[in-house]
Structure 1
Amino acid sequence: MHIEALRRQTPGSSNRIHLNNAGAGLLSRQTLEAITAHLELEAAVGGYEAADQERGRIEATHTHIAQLIGGRPDEIALFDNSTHAWNAAFYSMTFKPGDRILTGRSEYGSNVLAYLHIAQRTGAEIVVVPNDASGQLDTTALADLIDDRTKLVGISHVPTSGGLVNPVAEIGRITRAAGVPFLLDATQSVGQFPVDVTEVGCDMLTATGRKFLRGPRGTGFLWVRPEALDYLEPPVNEVAASTWDGKRGFTWHDGARRFETWEASFSNVLGLSAAVQQALEIGMDHIGRRATELGTYLRDHLSALPGVTTYDLGRQRCAIVTAKIDAVPTADVAAALAAHSINVSTTDPMQTQFDTEDRGVHPLVRLSPHYYNTEAELDRAIEVFAKLAAAS
């Protein structure tokens, strides 16, 4: 990979060390220009007219996303964020008293709140699958817990709170054999390393544009396996989702488009399309290998520092690294890094409830490099950690 060329195409990399790609990746110039060009077109000719003029490029977004994850364009629905995409899939299912929803300890906080909501409203039961000795979801326990009451397995591929990569292909094998729907939250994995829906074997997948895909905020998507449409009833209906029959009925649109809404920010959609195309041009194999190498470099060097502990779980780990310095509040570490123009995030117990119940280690400093970062940038972050740890 031509890192310096990629950095020249990334305006933000010239003035900060951006290790917050698990929050929002830096826009490339290619993506930025796609967004601003459409905004300028809207200003010049009108919003409806601009959309009509760029209809072909807007529609091609579904094709590019499908290519990215190994699906088909008609299996993709665009959303304004990944949580709305996930909710559209989850709330399309029907639950009743005694039904079971199986999930993992690394599940994302908004998903957990949705599970709690449905459990309170319908009497369904939430079952948290334990971790194995490495800290990833225990697939043997998952297989043992699935029974005829199990209506959904919902898993986060990569948690918001660490570098764990759950064994989703094995989870998919188990759910397919059991005939149980599998909803995968791939918000932190799509764009970071290759994700193929055929290899994973999930029935629904959701992701965002703003993180490792380096797209604009306010973008996300849902992929739905065609067979899953037989048991999914979209929770809302509007003119983009169905066709009126001329009387008192309607017919859902074919494929995943039945989950979309008519109104959208087409500048953001075109920005997402540009970001996806760039990821495809670079190659997800190359991106994944580089990002994982940087994560390993950072994790190993932080772990070697006296007084610093890293907290990433699992047999396979990615570019997200979580750490804490003994006797130094997490917020103070993040502030010290910010003072050196190093962008990071901190984990929030509210966003990782089941993991918090299990480990009680949050908040942690979350560092998430991506392929356009350099080892020299990581060394600067490691140096800040070392100085803080030595002074504590």
Structure 2
Amino acid sequence: MSAALAFPTSAPPIRSEGIYLNSATAGLPTAAVLDAMVGHLWREAEIGPAEAAAEQAERLHAAYRAAARLLGAAEDEIALLESGNRALQAAIGAVPLAPGDRVLVTRAEWGGSLAMLSGLRGVSVEPLPTQPDGTLDLAAARAMPNGRVRLVLATWCPAANGLVNPAAEIGALAREAGAFFILDACQAVGQMPVDVRALACDALVASGRKWLRGPRGTAILYASRRFLGQTATPMPDQFGAAWDGRGWTPRPDARRFETGEASFAGRLGLGAAIEGALAFGPERLQARIAQLAALMRDGLRALPGVQVHDAGSALSGIVSFTLDGMAAGAAQEALRQAGVSLAARGAAYAPLDMAARGLAEVLRAAPHVFNSGAEIAAALDAVARLATRR
């Protein structure tokens, strides 16, 4: 391994076979994450779930503190939910939108977010202008009329493209328009530093299972005090709102978006994952992942019959590519049989962007800190063999 890649792996995953390059789907958990979850499940079986939750109250609260530290937020601005989808639904649903209102999105917006917006009757969803390579055209965006723009929704790191959108600049645009700004950071948190104040976002969503290497079924929702003061939770339950004998009053903090039932084992595991990311250091995470992704991206570009589809000058740890004459699903399976795990993603993951680039599907590689330069080289060799025999 070269000196440039001589990083410690830090809490390697428990894996015994293959090369895992699928952290954009789900990162491999560490032993600390597994211990936190399994230990709590055993304790639930021994003394009862409610009793175990009460016993671990301080550790559960520590997960909120850790998430606040990771994002540069206050603890009362943090909620822990069941998925990135659920968190996005909660944040979007809190914005008071009416027929005739406009929502601006990035061209590389995640398909799930677009599906959520499609259910808003009479609301216009408009992509922000982009340059030919898919990066945001800030000058053209500032020149757009902003009448009745109520929400700007942006995907920071697209799911099927290595692009990193200029989130802070988009936040500034939203403020100029007097709109709320919700940032989908599901592919960003865990692979780069995050400061919600600098981003000027009203809400931010992060999955636990991806780059944070936490459990499935967990997510972080940041909701700023401004956002909490100017929005309402559409359907809180008895946890998100308090009964005073006459009516229900929503909680004043971000936990108004939570419900009374949740996986406490999952939240403990998420807390352990966040602590692991903080211990390694967001800047070091970003540097390590960027080095490995650059090795993968540059190696793929050198292979005949392989097309790399990442765009822009700022790139994430996601590397998207196709093999000439081979469907992404077939290539994914062939690589799996060769011991390399990565993802195949169709147009539904980024409908606007993939249509603009004439793509129906891509392969997606996503290395993490536990990967090595030798593994990247072996994965490239497997792709080369596949491209040769296609």
| Counterpart in the other structure of 2:323 | 325
| Counterpart in the other structure of 2:123 | 124
Matches within 5 A, 1:173-322: 173-247=172-246, 249-322=247-320
Partner secondary structure for residue 21 of structure 1: coil
| Counterpart in the other structure of 1:15 | 17
Q: Deviations over 1:93-138 (max 9, x none)?
A: 12222210000111111100111110xx2x1111111321332222
Partner secondary structure for residue 319 of structure 1: coil
Q: Deviations over 1:292-331 (max 9, x none)?
A: 1111110011001111110011220011001111112222
CA distance in 1, matches of 2:360, 2:14: 32
Contact 2:7 2:288 in 1 (8 A): no
Change (3 A) 1:146 1:264: farther
Q: Identity rate of aligned residues, in percent?
A: 37
Q: How far does residue 146 in structure 1 lie from its aligned partner after superposition?
A: 4.5
| Counterpart in the other structure of 1:345 | 343
CA distance in 2, matches of 1:294, 1:125: 40
CA distance in 2, matches of 1:105, 1:5: 35
Q: Are 1:29 and 2:31 counterparts?
A: yes
Partner secondary structure for residue 91 of structure 1: helix
CA distance in 1, matches of 2:202, 2:47: 41
Contact 1:336 1:384 in 2 (8 A): no
**Unaligned segments of structure 2, at least 5 residues:** none
| Counterpart in the other structure of 1:365 | 363
Structure 1: which amino acid aligns with 2:377? Answer: D
Partner secondary structure for residue 263 of structure 1: coil
Q: How far does residue 192 in structure 1 lie from its aligned partner after superposition?
A: 1.1
Q: Deviations over 1:75-108 (max 9, x none)?
A: 0011010110010010111222221000011111
| Counterpart in the other structure of 1:51 | 53
CA distance in 2, matches of 1:72, 1:288: 23
Partner secondary structure for residue 97 of structure 1: coil
Partner secondary structure for residue 205 of structure 1: strand
Partner secondary structure for residue 24 of structure 2: coil
Change (3 A) 1:276 1:331: same
Matches within 5 A, 1:149-164: 149-164=148-163
CA distance in 2, matches of 1:6, 1:359: 38
CA distance in 2, matches of 1:2, 1:358: 39
Contact 1:169 1:199 in 2 (8 A): yes
Structure 1: which amino acid aligns with 2:123? Answer: A
CA distance in 1, matches of 2:61, 2:238: 17
CA distance in 2, matches of 1:354, 1:100: 17
Q: 2:10 aligns with which of 6, 18, 27?
A: 6
Q: Are 1:167 and 2:171 counterparts?
A: no
Partner secondary structure for residue 184 of structure 1: strand
Structure 1: which amino acid aligns with 2:51? Answer: E
| Counterpart in the other structure of 2:381 | 383
CA distance in 1, matches of 2:275, 2:6: 17
**Unaligned segments of structure 1, at least 5 residues:** none
Change (3 A) 1:146 1:266: farther
| Counterpart in the other structure of 1:78 | 80
CA distance in 2, matches of 1:362, 1:300: 23
Q: How far does residue 140 in structure 1 lie from its aligned partner after superposition?
A: 2.1
CA distance in 2, matches of 1:288, 1:350: 27
Contact 2:149 2:179 in 1 (8 A): yes
Q: How far does residue 240 in structure 1 lie from its aligned partner after superposition?
A: 1.0
Q: 2:44 aligns with which of 19, 26, 42?
A: 42
Q: How far does residue 150 in structure 1 lie from its aligned partner after superposition?
A: 0.3
Contact 1:181 1:203 in 2 (8 A): yes
Q: 1:91 aligns with which of 73, 90, 93?
A: 93
CA distance in 1, matches of 2:64, 2:17: 34
Partner secondary structure for residue 361 of structure 2: coil
Contact 2:300 2:380 in 1 (8 A): yes
| Counterpart in the other structure of 1:141 | 140
What stretches of structure 1 move > 3 A for 4+ residues in a row? Answer: 1-5
Q: How far does residue 2 in structure 1 lie from its aligned partner after superposition?
A: 7.5
Q: Deviations over 1:235-276 (max 9, x none)?
A: 1121111111112x1211112111111111000000000000
Q: How far does residue 163 in structure 1 lie from its aligned partner after superposition?
A: 0.7
Contact 2:205 2:221 in 1 (8 A): yes
Contact 1:296 1:318 in 2 (8 A): no
Partner secondary structure for residue 83 of structure 1: helix
RMSD, aligned CA: 1.4
Structure 2: which amino acid aligns with 1:56? Answer: E
Partner secondary structure for residue 277 of structure 2: helix
CA distance in 2, matches of 1:331, 1:149: 42
Partner secondary structure for residue 127 of structure 1: strand
TM-score, normalised with respect to structure 1: 0.95
Structure 2: which amino acid aligns with 1:313? Answer: A
Q: How far does residue 29 in structure 1 lie from its aligned partner after superposition?
A: 0.6
